[in-house]
Structure formats: C-alpha cells, structure tokens
Amino acid sequence: MEYRKLGESKLSVSAITFGAWAAGGWMWGGNDDQEAIDAMRAAYDHGITSIDTAPVYGQGKSEELVGKAIKDFPRDKVQILTKYGLRWDLAKGEFFFKSKDNNGKDIDVYRYAGKDSIIAECESSLKRLGTDYIDLYQIYWSDKTTPIEETMEAILRLKEQGKIREAGVCNYDVSQMQTAAKSIKLAANQVPFSMVNRDIEDELIPYCIESRKAILAYSSLERGLLTGKMKAGQNFGEGDHRAGVKYFKDQNIESTNAFLAKIKPLADEKGATLGQLVIRWTINHPGITVALVGARNAEQSVQNAKAINIHINGEEMEFINNQLSDLVIIG
C-alpha cells in the first residue's frame, strides 16, 4: 500500500481508503453487518488502514460498525475519517432533503454546522467509534445559515482539546476553502471525482495543488458503474439511491461500458480488473491524494486493495484520457 500525507499536516492515510457509506445500509438498500465488518478488517489486513464514515450513514450505524471493526487494531495504526454537519435528529439550519431511515421511517436531513451542534456531534461520534480522537474531522456540506468562521472556530477548539487531529472539508468550492483557511489550517477537501465526473479539474484541483491541500476523491468507482458490471435496465433494490442518479440511466450505462471496453485490454494486459485499473488511474491523477472505495464484503475489499500493485505509466494514462474524451454523459 502507499501512504500519503494530507496536505501539510502530519496525518498520513492509505492512498486507497475504505468508504463506509454502504456499511450503514442507508440509501444502499440495506446491508449485512457482519459482512461490512469483515470487509473493513480485510481492507486493513491488506494495507487499507484508513476508513471514511459519517454519522448520517445509517443514522449512526456506519460509525458503530467501524468501531466494532477496528476495536482490536492498534489505534495508532488506523486512521478514522468522519464528518459532521448533517443532522437528521435536529430540525435546524438549512433543509437538505427528505429520506427514510433503515426502518423505513421518514426523516428530514438538514445541513447544520453551528458551534454547539458540532461539539455534540463530535462527542456522539467518539462514543460510536469507540475512540477518544478522530484523525480527520470533515464538514460534510456547507451550511448557509452558519458563518464558516463560526464552524471552524468550533473545529479549532476540538483540535486544541485533542479530540480531532486534523480539520477537513467536503464538497467545498475554492472560495469556501479560502474562507475556512483564514480560521484553521485545512488538511483536505473530500469531493466527488471519477472518470465520468471530472468537474473539479478546472478550479479545485489547481487551487489544492497550489495551496498544498489534499483531495480525497469519493465515488471514484462512480458507485459501481466503473466496474463494468452494470447493464442497461439495471435493477436496483428498494431504497438504493442509484436508481435516481443520472449516471445509471440506460444511455449513460451503455456509453460508459463502451468506454470501458476500450480500456479493458489494458486491464487484461496487467492482469487487473476494470475496477482496479480505474482506482489506480484515480490515485495517479494530478492533485488526487486518495481514492475512497466502498466494499460490501471481504473479497471486494481485497480486490480494491490490490489495485495499488498496478503500474500505469504516462503513456498509458494518456491513452485512457484520450478514450475518456469521447465519453459523453447525458445529464
């Protein structure tokens, strides 16, 4: 495994990091708790020492499973990345969207990053995770009702208290990062980035390279689309959010699969799966520090970890990018 420092911080994480959204079941049509735990442990055994989660994933369930998965690991050998600022249990801040919890109960999700809320969220996360500190604490989404300065003041306090090691953001644009950086030194920004979603290349990546901030790419396999296993007419289970995402429209699945067919010979040549080739391409991309990749079971975790062993040279990166230039996703 490769381990990479987040920006100018002292925190290093595995270049392939376990994404634990699906472990919580919420918006993924449920999960198997033991398989999720086994997946995280298998990831660790193969060098993936970093796990990214959030309270909202299963309304605490994902964090609880992460805590169970890592309880026997040396704490200084595993990096916990979690988030704050999405409340389903408090109707305060900026309304985000309606959803259902894992029991089918209606819930309203709010973006809220007020100081007292953050302090309370951190304490709850520490309990669920079974630890006394969080390695990277990230605001999940911006909250228009709370000044960024107030939010970061609370994070600075948590850092001074030793409850978090480093501060990060998610889904922030350049302007928001610049504002946050006036109050606290940021280590990273976690944003969506994949072969079919490269919106951050124009502004955010250049800014993060220049300001020495790490980028954690989530949905790097585009929620399974880039494994090549999806087919037009894909049947998603009840509660699986992918059914309503544009990338999974039949036309986009077909277009993506046509692109994947062009690069599959390169994967075959390297004895790799398409998913492994995609993961390696992601962490090779300029400005990308980490690829967050989920897994439903231990076998998927092992396959994800093995992507680190693939070598893609400059000429091969250019070949992949040239094929990508012909791929059109219909919005």
Residue 268 located in a structural domain: no
The per-residue DSSP string of 72-133 comes to TS-GGG-EEEEEE-EESS---SEEEEEEE-TTS-EEEEEE---HHHHHHHHHHHHHHHT-S-
Q: Amino acid identity of 320? A: I
Instruction: Please confirm, yes or no, whether 57 is among the known catalytic residues.
Output: yes
Distance from C-alpha of 70 to C-alpha of 256, rounded to nearest angstrom? 36
Give the DSSP letter of residue 31.
-
The alpha carbon torsion through 219, 25, 143, 217 (nearest 10 deg) reads: -20
Mean of per-residue pLDDT scores for the chain: 96
Given a cut of 80, whether residue 110 has pLDDT beyond it is: yes
Residue 327 located in a structural domain: no
Q: Give the whole-number percent of the chain exceeding pLDDT 70.
A: 100
Residue 104 located in a structural domain: yes
Which domain CATH number covers 143?
A: 3.20.20.100
**Number of domains observed in the structure of the chain:** 1
Out of 3, 44, 57, 140, the active site residue is 57
Give 118's pLDDT tier (boundaries 50, 70, 90). Answer: very high
Distance from C-alpha of 301 to C-alpha of 305, rounded to nearest angstrom? 6
Residue 328 located in a structural domain: no
Given a cut of 90, whether residue 18 has pLDDT beyond it is: yes
- Mean pLDDT confidence for 229-258: 88
Give 245's pLDDT tier (boundaries 50, 70, 90). Answer: confident
In this predicted structure, what is the pLDDT of residue 323?
Answer: 96
Q: Could you tell me how many residues make up the chain?
A: 331
| Domain interval for residue 62 | 3-227+274-310
Express each pLDDT in 193-226 by its tens digit. 999 999 999 999 999 999 999 999 999 999 889 9
Give 237's pLDDT tier (boundaries 50, 70, 90). Answer: confident
Residue 82 located in a structural domain: yes
Given a cut of 80, whether residue 238 has pLDDT beyond it is: no
Distance from C-alpha of 15 to C-alpha of 221, rounded to nearest angstrom? 14
In this predicted structure, what is the pLDDT of residue 106?
Answer: 95
Nearest partner of 25 among 11, 14, 13, 37, judged by Cα: 37
User: 113 CB contacts (<8 Å, ≥6 apart)?
Assistant: 84, 85, 93, 139, 142, 143, 146, 150, 151
Residue 61 located in a structural domain: yes
Structure tokens at 78: 């595993």
Express each pLDDT in 74-90 by its tens digit. 999 999 999 999 999 99
Residue 179 located in a structural domain: yes
Residue 248 located in a structural domain: no
Measuring CA to CA, how many Å separate 69 from each of 44, 65, 184, 274, 298? 10, 6, 31, 28, 12
Express each pLDDT in 20-51 by its tens digit. 999 998 888 888 999 999 999 999 999 999 99
In this predicted structure, what is the pLDDT of residue 92?
Answer: 97
Q: Is 144 exposed, middle or buried (0-12, 13-18, 19+ CB in 10 A)?
A: exposed
Distance from C-alpha of 101 to C-alpha of 188, rounded to nearest angstrom? 29
Distance from C-alpha of 59 to C-alpha of 177, rounded to nearest angstrom? 27
